[in-house]
Copies of this chain bind each other. A is one copy, B any other.
Amino acid sequence: NSALIADWGIELSLLFDPKCPKLESLVEKIKEIVESNEVGRLPKIPKGTRDFGREQMAIRERAFSIITSVFKMHGGVALDTPVFELRETLMGKYGEDSKLVYDLADQGGELCSLRYDLTVPFARYVAMNNISAIKRYQIAKVYRRDNPSKGRYREFYQCDFDIAGVYEPMEPDFEVVKVLTELLDKLDIGDYEIKLNHRKLLDGMLEICGVPAEKFRTVCSSIDKLDKLTFEEVKKELVEEKGVSNETAENIGSLVKTRGPPLEVLLELRKEGSKFMENEGSVVALNELEILFKALEKANALDRISFDLSLARGLDYYTGVIYEAVFKGVTQVGSIAAGGRYDKLVGMFSNKQVPAVGVSFGIERVFAIMEQQEKEKNQVIRATETEVLVSILGKDLILAAELVNELWSAGIKAEFKLTTRVQNHIKYATQTGIPWMVLVGESELRDGKVKLKDIRANQEEEVPRKDFVEVLKQRLSNP
């Protein structure tokens, strides 16, 4: 900042005569602003975190209520886990991203880290409690020491839905993908598509292209960049960094272009002469995908899916179907939701394997879109549900307590205010969207009455003191 001011100084001195009093007063003004900023320094919150104030909380509650209703529609049970886990629980699960894990300081006792996602704590929970089947959801914050300058949060919400246990082929996979489409449809935040692939098909593809097995995962992480880089760039990485031959890279390049309506792509990959039909893993994958696609078709969800051989997903632990939801026609936004099948993760914690499949939904972008939608509607986002404001003209708290308590006892959401300036109360009710006011001044009290004010209609009426709760109840139930 001081470098910037110095630069400005030089620029200004070119415009003004350095001896001109105007320049001096300008410099004084700048100094003043800089200093007053220093004096009134306000507290800060950590980088990459944020508070949810009134309006953001109202939007967040709406989003969570939609999401929870979808999860409950499918019989999900809620689970909550601690915000930190033993460090050993998170070790060896995130590959290169492990460097983004937040550690707690060693203050004696156990070594812990903040959770990086909800999947690993879920697997830990299933293993620890020896659970053989569970369909759970969890909406909670996760923590990543990512670069906040890119607009990324270091504390952010994930909404996860996972099914663990042994089922008929594709039974839970179908439901998880269906849940994802329902979430995105009900949130109504824009046109989207779900890219879908299968790890066994991906491995089959790499085998067909001539990639040696030990390079599958590292080649996958290059392919995973195809949504951000051109194929030429990815190819360069494959050949120069990962030691893949030029021919193999070209083979990969021609196959990863395969994408489109699931049943059509499926037909294409299975047609006579297709190399995939000679590859054992690929045949298994294609058979599973056929069941999945047909089930999704019956559930009116298939038109949202794009079968896409370029989808690779970074995480190591996926073993079957993988998917990622993106907004249509928007590039560089990254995924809104992603997930897949991970059959070996629970087994990393115990000697019992419990296969599982799930989806993780990132909600921060959804909040931003919903906030924008609200602003465009130009409506007051109410931060409270207050129905009545009791406005006492004066300082009689005891009178206020008596009146407002009658409303509370009747189950009416009410606030109260004391003051001699009734206009302030009316302004408050209008701004916060409170529909009714009870106005009580000296004259009303003397006559055993109170005044009711309908804020939106801007109408007032006097009612007997003893009846005002009953009258308001009626008014509120017939708005």
Contact = CB atoms under 8 A, between A and B. Distances in A.
A23 to B, nearest CB: 32
A273 interface: no
A398 B168 contact: no
B54 A78 contact: yes
A390 to B, nearest CB: 11
A344 interface: no
A445 to B, nearest CB: 15
Per assembly, the copies of the chain total 2
A298 B409 CA distance: 12
A101 to B, nearest CB: 9
A169 interface: yes
A420 to B, nearest CB: 10
A329 interface: no
B124 A169 contact: no
B103 A79 contact: no
Contacts of A26: none
B350 A43 contact: yes
Interface residues of A, number: 96
A236 interface: no
A296 B157 CA distance: 41
Given A73-B413, A298-B401, A57 B79 contact: yes
A107 B397 contact: no
A295 B397 contact: yes
A414 interface: yes
A321 B220 CA distance: 63
A395 interface: yes
A414 B110 contact: no
A114 B141 CA distance: 14
A50 interface: yes
Interface in A39-65: 39-40, 42-47, 49-54, 57-58, 60-61
Interface string A101-142: 011111101101010000000001101111000010000010
Contacts of A73: 408, 411, 413-414
A386 B75 contact: yes
A402 B84 contact: no
Contacts of A12: none
Contacts of A80: 51-52, 57, 60
A70 to B, nearest CB: 9
Interface string A382-398: 01111000000001011
A86 B46 contact: yes
Contacts of A296: 401
Given A43-B350, A107-B103, A400 B78 contact: no
B127 A42 contact: yes
B103 A413 contact: no
B53 A79 contact: yes
A415 interface: yes
Contact of A350 (B42, B60, B291, B418): B42
Contacts of A52: 78-81
A174 B401 contact: yes
Nearest to A70: B408
Contacts of A105: 102-106
A155 B82 contact: yes
Nearest to A106: B105
27 contacts: A42-B130, A43-B89, A43-B350, A45-B86, A46-B84, A46-B85, A46-B86, A50-B82, A52-B79, A53-B125, A57-B77, A57-B78, A73-B408, A75-B385, A75-B386, A77-B384, A82-B155, A105-B105, A105-B106, A170-B397, A171-B397, A171-B400, A171-B418, A174-B401, A178-B405, A296-B401, A299-B401
Q: Top 6 nearest A-B pairs by Cβ distance? A: A49-B82, A295-B401, A299-B405, A103-B105, A57-B78, A75-B415
Interface of A: 39-40, 42-47, 49-54, 57-58, 60-61, 72-86, 89, 102-107, 109-110, 112, 114, 124-125, 127-130, 135, 141, 143, 145, 155, 167-171, 174-175, 178, 182, 291, 294-296, 298-300, 349-351, 383-386, 395, 397-402, 404-405, 408-409, 411, 413-416, 418-419
Given A49-B84, A105-B106, 14 more contacts: A40-B351, A45-B124, A60-B80, A74-B408, A75-B413, A76-B384, A82-B155, A104-B104, A174-B397, A294-B398, A295-B398, A295-B401, A298-B399, A300-B409
